[in-house]
C-alpha cells in the first residue's frame, strides 16, 4: 500500500504521522505543501502566492517527478494556511493518480483560510477539525485532532512531581499572546512556577506583528523564541508540568493540537475554547474554560486529574485518527 502525504512541516508531525502510517503497512512519500519554510516564502504564500509563483511551480515540478512515477492507493493532503499548490496543480496530481483515494484534512478554519474551499471538490473525502466549518459545509466531516504515542507514553508515566505548575508552548498569534499573558498573571497566586514559550518563525514576523497587531505593540523582543521547541526538550516540559495552557487563535473554533496533547499526556488543561465542554473527554476536574477571570473555588483547582474512559481516550490517538482517514 502506497500513500502520498502532503502537509506543512509543522514541528515533527510529518515524521510522527509517517511512522504511524508505516506501522499500518503504508509506504509513505512525504512532501511539504510549500517550497520552503523560509519566512519570506511563508509570508508571500499568505499575502499573495503570485509573488513567488515561479518558485512554487519549480518546486511542484520536482514533486511531480516522484508522483508521476508511482501509483498511490491514497493521496492525503493536510492543509493549514501554508498550502501553496494551485487548483491546477492539485488537478494535475489527480490526473496522474486516477485510482487513488483523495483525502483532505483541514487543520485550520475556513475563516482563516477560505482558499481551501476551492479545492475540496478534488477530494473523495474531506474532514475538518473545526465543528463550525462542518456545520456550515455539508461535504465536510468533523474529525478532531489527535495525540501521538509520545504523549501517550507521558500519560502512562503518571508523574506527580512537577517542576512547572503550567506550561504553554505555541505560536504567538495576537489573541493567543494576549490571553496566555492574562491567564499567567491571574494564576500566579496558585501556579507560580510557569513555563511560557512564545514562538515566531522569524524576527521579521515578530516586527511585522508588533506593528500590525495592537495586542503585540507592548511586547518585548526577549519574550519570543525563533526556533520551535521540539523533540525531547518539548517532551521534558510536558512531563514536568502539572497543567497545560491553551488559547485558540482568532476565527478558530476547533480544538488545537495542544488540547489533544494534554489529553494524551493526561495533563490538566486551561483553555479559552468554550466548545470543549461538548467533547466526550471533558471533565470539569481536568479542564477549566477561561472566560477572562480565574475562579480558584472551581473544582478544577480542588481535585486531582480524573482518568478518562479508555475507549474515549483511545478514540483521539493518532492511530485511531489515521484509521478513520484512510479507511473511513
Kindly indicate the confidence band of residue 204, based on its pLDDT and cuts at 50, 70 and 90.
Answer: confident
pTM (predicted TM-score): 0.92
Alpha helices in 170-230, H assignment, sequence order:
174-187, 203-212
224-225 and 74-79: which strand pairing? Answer: unpaired
CA dist., res. 311 & res. 181, Å (int): 35
Residue 281 reports pLDDT greater than 90: yes
The CATH code of domain 2-143 reads 3.40.50.2300
CA dist., res. 275 & res. 90, Å (int): 33
Task: Note whether 2-143 and 149-315 share their fold.
Answer: yes
Q: Name which of 137, 262, 249, 250 is nearest 198 in CA terms.
A: 249
Segment 296-312 shows an average pLDDT of 96
The CATH code of domain 149-315 reads 3.40.50
Q: What is the pLDDT of residues 114-128, one digit of tens each?
A: 999 999 999 999 999
What pLDDT, on a 0 to 100 scale, did the predictor assign at position 198? 97
Segment 60-67 shows an average pLDDT of 97
Q: Name which of 105, 81, 103 is nearest 94 in CA terms.
A: 103
Three-state SS for 278-321 is HCCCCCCCCEEECCCCCCCCCHHHHCCCCCCCHHHHHHCEHHHH
DSSP lists the bridge partners of residue 270 as: 245, 288
Kindly indicate the confidence band of residue 212, based on its pLDDT and cuts at 50, 70 and 90.
Answer: very high
CA dist., res. 162 & res. 259, Å (int): 19
Every domain of the chain and the residues it spans: 2-143, 149-315
Take residue 48 and report the three cell numbers written for it. 499573495
Give first-to-last CA distance, the chain, whole Å: 16
CA dist., res. 129 & res. 279, Å (int): 12
Collapsed DSSP state (helix, strand, coil) of residue 166: strand
CA dist., res. 77 & res. 94, Å (int): 12
Give Cβ neighbours of residue 44 (< 8 Å, ≥ 6 apart).
Answer: 51, 52
DSSP lists the bridge partners of residue 79 as: 106
Residue 158 reports pLDDT greater than 90: no
Task: Provide the b/e sequence for 25-47 (b: ≥16 CB within 10 Å).
Answer: ebebbbbbbbbbeebebbbbbee
Segment 139-151 shows an average pLDDT of 97
Segment 251-276 shows an average pLDDT of 95
What pLDDT, on a 0 to 100 scale, did the predictor assign at position 255? 97
Q: What is the CA radius of gyration of the chain?
A: 20
CA dist., res. 71 & res. 275, Å (int): 41
Q: 280: exposed, middle or buried (C-beta count within 10 Å: 0-12, 13-18, 19+)?
A: exposed
What pLDDT, on a 0 to 100 scale, did the predictor assign at position 50? 80
CA–CA distances in Å: residue 296 to residues 181, 187, 272: 18, 9, 16
Task: Kindly write down the DSSP assignment for every residue of 150-164, as one continuous string.
Answer: HHHHHHHH-----SE
Asked if residues 5 and 76 have their Cβ atoms less than 8 Å apart, the reply is yes
CA dist., res. 165 & res. 270, Å (int): 12
Amino acid at each position: 500500500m502506497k500513500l502520498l502525504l502532503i502537509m506543512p512541516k509543522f514541528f515533527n508531525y510529518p515524521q510522527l504521522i509517517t511512522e504511524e502510517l508505516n506501522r499500518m503497512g503504508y509506504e509513505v512519500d512525504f512532501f511539504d505543501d510549500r517550497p520552503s519554510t523560509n519566512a519570506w516564502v511563508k509570508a508571500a504564500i499568505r499575502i499573495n502566492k503570485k509573488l513567488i509563483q515561479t518558485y512554487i511551480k519549480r518546486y511542484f515540478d520536482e514533486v511531480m517527478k516522484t508522483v508521476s512515477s508511482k501509483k498511490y492507493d491514497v493521496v492525503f493532503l493536510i492543509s493549514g494556511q501554508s498550502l501553496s499548490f494551485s487548483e491546477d496543480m492539485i488537478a494535475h496530481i489527480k490526473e496522474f493518480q486516477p485510482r487513488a483515494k483523495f483525502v483532505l484534512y483541514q487543520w485550520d478554519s475556513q475563516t482563516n483560510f477560505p482558499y481551501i474551499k476551492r479545492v475540496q471538490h478534488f477530494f473523495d473525502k474531506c474532514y475538518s477539525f473545526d465543528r463550525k466549518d462542518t456545520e456550515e459545509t455539508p461535504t465536510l466531516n468533523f474529525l478532531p485532532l489527535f495525540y501521538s504515542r509520545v504523549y501517550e507514553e507521558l500519560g502512562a508515566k503518571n508523574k506527580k512531581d512537577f517542576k512547572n505548575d503550567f506550561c504553554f508552548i505555541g505560536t504567538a498569534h495576537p489573541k493567543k499572546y494576549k490571553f496566555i499573558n492574562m491567564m499567567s498573571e491571574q494564576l500566579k497566586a496558585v501556579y507560580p512556577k510557569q513555563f511560557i514559550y512564545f514562538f515566531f518563525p522569524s524576527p521579521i514576523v515578530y516586527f511585522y506583528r508588533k506593528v500590525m497587531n495592537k495586542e503585540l505593540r507592548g511586547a518585548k523582543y526577549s519574550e519570543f523564541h525563533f526556533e520551535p521547541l521540539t523533540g525531547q526538550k518539548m517532551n521534558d516540559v510536558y512531563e514536568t508540568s502539572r497543567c497545560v495552557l491553551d488559547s485558540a487563535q482568532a476565527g478558530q473554533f476547533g480544538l488545537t493540537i495542544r488540547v489533544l496533547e494534554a489529553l494524551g499526556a493526561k495533563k490538566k488543561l486551561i483553555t479559552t475554547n468554550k466548545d470543549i465542554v461538548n467533547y466526550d473527554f471533558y471533565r470539569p476536574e481536568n479542564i477549566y474554560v477561561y472566560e477572562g477571570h480565574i475562579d480558584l473555588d472551581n473544582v478544577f483547582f480542588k481535585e486531582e486529574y480524573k482518568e478518562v474512559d479508555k475507549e474515549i481516550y483511545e478514540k483521539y490517538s493518532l492511530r485511531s485518527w489515521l484509521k478513520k482517514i484512510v479507511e473511513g
